[in-house]
Amino acid sequence: MDYKAQVTNSILSVLNDEMSSAEVYEKLEKPKTLQMGDLAFPAFSLAKVFHKAPNQIAEELVAKIDQTSYEKVEAKGAYINFFLDKGNFSNEILNEVLEEGAAYGQNDNGKGGNVPIDMSSPNIAKPISMGHLRSTVIGNSIAKILVKNGYHPIKDNHLGDWGTQFGKLIVAYKKWGNEEDVKKDPINNLVKYYVKFHQEDKEHPELDDEARETFKKLEEGNEEEVFLWKWFRKVSLESFNKIYEKLGVTFDTYNGEAFYNDKMDEGIQILKDKGLLQESQGAQVV
């Protein structure tokens, strides 16, 4: 039910064409606190018509309004405050919910507009954390709300799938890894290799140089490094998807950090052309 329309009709019933239905409806406000009612009408908008003080107008109109459909209607300063009958309100809402089911509250306010949602976004070769689970559930809930309001959400699982850590992981796998172990338990074993790299690195700092060189090869598209990186990404996603399936969550895109590697130069050039870059400590910043 449109309660603003109900209140509008109540006000119009005690006026003599001083305002139109559209004008009254437009001027209705939601009070700042529940103690001031559910909807309020500013009587000062009628001051020029009645040539009276707004608070006096409010009191006179309240005395004429039929209050049987409300918990109460009261004048508070220059405002007429309407308190909805909570019992009737609750019954009507529950009946609407039962009648409309999953379609309750649905509308087309969004008119199909796109709304990107960056959600979940775990790191490849690492367990999904509580933080990732939280953003997964919240993002999925927001997407459902957007759909009900006529929007087109785009759920982006922006994976952490690039960076120097993959140079370390590839080195660790080559030295201590085992393909069958990774197939059986991808995440835990990949984490184990990564942890071992850092343990060994304390005694063998030259491993850092090897990892940097390995990541450089990955950036340059070296076949072996790219193959391992893609495999780590694939088995990690397979593990993540088991969790997403239990949660009933799907995504529209899994474009992670690596997706933008070949697009960075173009993006930087656009920023340069628009004069949005400036140098700071030897780096270009926006």
pLDDT score recorded for residue 236: 97
pLDDT score recorded for residue 264: 85
How many structural domains compose the chain? 2
From residue 223, alpha-carbon distances to 86, 92, 144, 228 in Å are 68, 65, 41, 9
Overall average pLDDT of the 207-214 stretch: 96
Overall average pLDDT of the 221-237 stretch: 97
pLDDT score recorded for residue 5: 95
Q: Which residue has the tokens 């309750």?
A: 104
pLDDT grade for 283, boundaries at 50, 70 and 90: confident
Are 49 and 137 in a shared domain? no
Are 234 and 204 in a shared domain? yes
pLDDT score recorded for residue 282: 82
Range in 83-97, 151-165, 188-202, 226-240 with the lowest mean pLDDT: 83-97
Does residue 216 lie within any of the structural domains? Answer: yes
Does residue 154 lie within any of the structural domains? Answer: yes
Does residue 283 lie within any of the structural domains? Answer: no
Of all residues in the chain, the percent with pLDDT exceeding 70 is 100
Q: In the listed set 26, 53, 87, which residue is the last one of a domain according to the structure?
A: 87
pLDDT score recorded for residue 17: 85
Residue 136 clears pLDDT 80, i.e. is over it:
yes
Residue type at position 95: N
The whole domain housing 35 covers 3-87
